[in-house]
Chain A
Amino acid sequence: NAGVTQTPKFRVLKTGQSMTLLCAQDMNHEYMYWYRQDPGMGLRLIHYSVGEGTTAKGEVPDGYNVSRLKKQNFLLGLESAAPSQTSVYFCASSSGLAGFTDTQYFGPGTRLTVL
């Protein structure tokens, strides 16, 4: 099992460009999450999903959109990138059997730079 995978690993964008980050999990998990990690800020939740076809806003959702068309995939989109979105993005998944308490399994991260 690959666990949680993220593509791409690195990306450089110019201000105003758009892109989509892909997260895939092969553990049949119901819940999936997108976080961003900035120096000194810890992990902050952007959006999450509790099942196929559902999405919800987290702590810092502005400037991002997400979709969960298939249970195993969770896409994070930036429609018009800004330098403030320079960060490392992590995807995670959990079974959902115990709600949000379940252990989360993280992907390796995507390092995004917006110039």
Chain B
Amino acid sequence: SQQGEEDPQALSIQEGENATMNCSYKTSINNLQWYRQNSGRGLVHLILIRSNEREKHSGRLRVTLDTSKKSSSLLITASRAADTASYFCATDARYSTLTFGKGTMLLVSP
């Protein structure tokens, strides 16, 4: 399986701090996406990074991709309580559907 595996499983920080979560996968991918899930809700797309990109920014989000190490990281800068959620990476390979990891639970305390 090429399922992504997020690390850590849970992360607890204070407001204003940065949060970094990682995703590792097993096989070659076309793209990698990050999604957020607030408690009891559906997933919301955050950002997509293509296999030929190394870094991408979107507001307070920074995503990196290292295809040689088959890993990606999501950095949330200046975290807010509203960032409290679970974060999932999802990978896709040629002609295959997205595969989601098990997620990182982020708790941002005021």
Contacts and interface: CB of A to CB of B under 8 A. Distances in A.
A18 B41 CA distance: 25
B74 to A, nearest CB: 16
A103 B33 contact: yes
B41 A108 contact: yes
B48 interface: yes
B45 to A, nearest CB: 4
B41 A109 contact: yes
Contact of A105 (B3, B31, B45): B45
Contact of A33 (B97, B101, B102): B97
B85 interface: no
A90 B102 contact: no
B25 interface: no
Contact of A43 (B33, B88, B95): B88
Nearest to B42: A106
Contact of B31 (A44, A92, A101): A101
Interface string A80-115: 000000000010100000011101111111000000
B43 A90 contact: yes
Given A100-B96, A101-B30, A101-B31, A106 B43 contact: yes
Contacts of B40: 109
Interface string A18-40: 00000000000000010100001
Nearest to A90: B42
Interface of A: 4, 33, 35, 40-45, 48, 58, 90, 92, 99-101, 103-109
Interface of B: 3, 30-31, 33, 35, 40-45, 48, 88, 92, 95-103
